[in-house]
Amino acid sequence: MDGPITDVTVESPVKLVLQRRARPGAQAAFEAWIRELLDSAGRTAALQGSSVLTAGNGDYFILLRFATHAERERWEGAPAVRELFRRGDALATSSDGPVAKSGLETWFTLPGLPAPRSAPPAWKMALVTWCALLPQVLLLGVILPPGLPYLAGVAVSTAIPVAMLTWVIMPRLTKLLYGWLYATAGDGGRA
């Protein structure tokens, strides 16, 4: 397994994100390999969850969430797991190595563009998210009926912003602010 891993806080949960395309004629074998990978990860108590997404054209996104960066590294460094990844590499192609993600940065990737090797600084992600969320919360506070039952009000006032952030606002803001979000000190930005 090659490729840099993004900076993450050692104590925080971390996601391992693998993007793979099954080689022609190897899709069934690759899917069996994915099951084996999930079984291997599932044998560690540090695994908090996993997901496999497919575009239906042989492209797969495999997400493994570990309790800590150290636990992920421990699992990934085991000889059996390294051999498992080597066998997977024979069944699929990948444009990037595995990338660790710690949270919000998955909102700051754009479809069709490769995700940068490192996430934007946490303060930039927090600032953009807050700027996207604040107007929605203010507007919902004005338009939601005051007699709405508490649970229904909380459900609506959280569901709408989450959906809007995920599918409407964050993709547009990320595209608009991409240069600033991913600027580094060497290219004039202040990361």
Q: What residues does each domain of the chain span?
A: 14-102, 122-187
What rounded mean pLDDT belongs to the chain?
A: 80
Classify residue 101 as exposed, middle or buried by CB count within 10 Å of its CB (0-12, 13-18, 19+): buried
174, containing H or E segment: helix 170-181
Report CA-CA distances (Å) from 154 to 134, 144, 164.
Answer: 15, 10, 16
Flag whether pLDDT at 191 surpasses 50. Answer: no
Global confidence as pTM = 0.50
Flag whether pLDDT at 190 surpasses 60. Answer: no
Tens-digit pLDDT profile for residues 121-175: 878 888 999 999 999 999 999 999 989 998 998 889 989 998 888 878 988 888 8
- Measure the CA–CA gap between 159 and 137, rounded to whole angstroms: 11
- Token readout for 73 is 């590294």
CATH label, 14-102, candidates 3.40.50.1100, 3.30.70.920, 3.60.20.10, 3.30.70.100:
3.30.70.100
Neighbours of 155 (CB within 10 A): 12
pLDDT confidence of residue 116: 64
65, containing H or E segment: strand 59-66
Tens-digit pLDDT profile for residues 72-121: 889 989 999 999 999 998 998 875 555 555 556 666 666 556 556 667 88
Q: Please give the average per-residue pLDDT across 38-54, as a whole number.
A: 87
